[in-house]
Amino acid sequence: MQRWVLDLGNTRLKIAPLQANGEAGESIALEHRGADIAALAARLPPQMDVAYLASVTHEGLRVGLLDALAARCQRISLARTQRRWGDLRIAYADPARLGVDRFLAMIAARAHAARVEHEPVLVCGVGTALTLDLIDAQGRHLGGRIAPSPTVMRQALNRQVAQLPACGGSYVEFAVDTPDALASGCVGAALGLIQRSLADAGSRLGTAPALYLHGGGGEELRSLLPQARWSPRLVLEGLAQWAAIEKPA
């Protein structure tokens, strides 16, 4: 049986086959950036028995992908945030308001933490948004933060001030040209929020949490956060765990 997990974000669709042991196999990322769904669908596997989909993008693209999957799949299951998953308990009063990508990343990070005596974790996703979620050693989600990613900060500045380039430059402590100053300021803002969150979490819990970093924009921050556990497939890993016991509808 060909079972697949798919993570539809705002700029990319990540897809991986489910292996016999229930883990996500080798994944690929397909850029879409809101493009015509037909172009995206043409790059999907032609045959799938079961598809498990997590989506945080706009309704039109999600429905379009579901239609494309319906032409290929016998069954489709759409992942949703749940109040509890094992010992993971979501802090939101209405779990549906917490993005399913954050929920799935927490499932996977919690599973990793279980291998290290259930240590607390801070999960940081860097995509269109930068998200942070804190989970204590008992599996309680203590809440999170959402901010623009460095890429979105650059794009917003460019829209307001055209002479400020939307990309380019490198992170340095004190830049001597505009592209580097922009890169340093936007990346530095993200680093500051992450470091502040780590410090706040340590004060609240009495111990520093393990930092898990994932998402398409995480690579840019990885070298500047040496303590981070780089986990680029965290959402797909969580989706694979969700799929292991979820019955497709």
Catalytic residues: 101
> DSSP letters of 28-94?
EEEE-TT--HHHHHTTS-S-EEEEEEEE-S-HHHHHHHHHHHHTTEEEEEE----SEETTEE---SS
Cβ within 8 Å of residue 197, ≥6 positions away: 122, 124, 132, 134, 145
Q: State CA 168 to chain mean position distance.
A: 24
Q: How far apart are CA 127 and CA 245, in angstroms?
A: 28
Q: At 74, which amino acid appears?
A: Q
- The continuous run of DSSP H or E covering 152 comes out as helix 150-160
